[in-house]
Structure 1
Amino acid sequence: MNNAASALKVAAGLFLTIALITIVVMLFGSAQEGTKQAQTEFAGIQTELTGQAFVGYENTILTGSQVVSSIRRFGNKEEFKIDIKTKKNSGGTSYTKGNIGNTQSITSNEYVNPSGQFKGEVVRDANNVVTGLTFTQQ
């Protein structure tokens, strides 16, 4: 009888171990799905917050000094371009890497009048990621 009781104890222990492993695997699978969903939501929030820095430039009238400041502020971003179109240079000039070029040289075609008025536009790619700004003198 002692052998039968020992066998039952071993069988019960084995059954409980298998049940515990099954529960852990099921919980891990659920947690993994939750983690994936959280990562997706976080990525969306991160993209939205990144775009918030540019909300003030969308269809807004800015002064020339604000336009030049935006080159300094955002021009260092990787893969980011700022285009400025003035009445003197309607084709526009592109600025990257924070280089303000000749925007402060009165004799240059790139000159941006500090008190001039420019309409801002945010440029986005197909993924709705902000890739640049365009300013057109009014």
Structure 2
Amino acid sequence: MGNAQKALIMAAGFFLAIALITIAVVMFISAQDATKAAQNNFSDIQTELSQTAFTVYDNTVVSGSQVVNALRKFADKEQFGIQVQTGKNPVGSWYTNKIDTTSPSSSNYGTVIASISRDAVANATLESHMDYVNPSGKFKAHIIKDKSNVIRAIEFMQQ
């Protein structure tokens, strides 16, 4: 074999190696973009799933027993409040946390104003208590979101 032939084989191997490295880099970059897109989609799905527990209360009419179940279900949730307005208590009572609902244009809208320590379920189930929720009553439910579009409260108003 001559030197020229060895040089051509070496050059071909060199160009083949460069081509393979280039293909690998291009595939890695495109896979990286696909991974980022998949992560964003997964994050969106995760946010949607975390809020599905609340979507059943978005501008719907629920029974009083569903209100009491919501009090039980969300009693331990931090940075979250439930307001219940009944015929006995038209002003309404907050459970867990009091949330700012003064004006949606307010910068504090949907933020926690105060923590409230009370046994929500016990008060809501005692017929003699001001916060009693009639299990057969009908309540209009409404969710409250903060400026970051995170659900911070549910309001129940007896109809």
* 2:126 alignment partner, SS class: coil
| In structure 1, distance between residues paired with 2:18 and 2:96 | 61
Partner in structure 1 of residue 13 of structure 2: 13
Q: TM-score, normalised by structure 2?
A: 0.72
Asked if 2 retains the 8 angstrom alpha-carbon contact of 1:95 and 1:101, the reply is no
| In structure 1, distance between residues paired with 2:57 and 2:126 | 24
Select the residue among 103, 113, 123 that pairs with 2:144.
123
Superposition pairs of residues 1-138 of structure 1, within 5 angstroms: 2-96=2-96, 99-138=120-159
Q: Unaligned regions of 5+ residues in structure 1, if any? A: none
Counterpart residue identity of residue 128, structure 1: N
Q: Classify 1:123/1:101 alpha carbon distance in 2 versus 1 (closer, same or farther; 3 Å).
A: farther
Moved more, 89-98 or 53-62: 89-98
Moved over 4 A (4+): none
Counterpart residue identity of residue 5, structure 1: Q
Q: Classify 1:2/1:78 alpha carbon distance in 2 versus 1 (closer, same or farther; 3 Å).
A: farther
Q: Residue deviations 1:91-138, cap 9 Å, x none?
A: 322223995251112232222122222111122223333222110122
Aligned-residue RMSD, C-alpha: 2.4
| In structure 2, distance between residues paired with 1:100 and 1:2 | 93
Counterpart residue identity of residue 16, structure 2: L
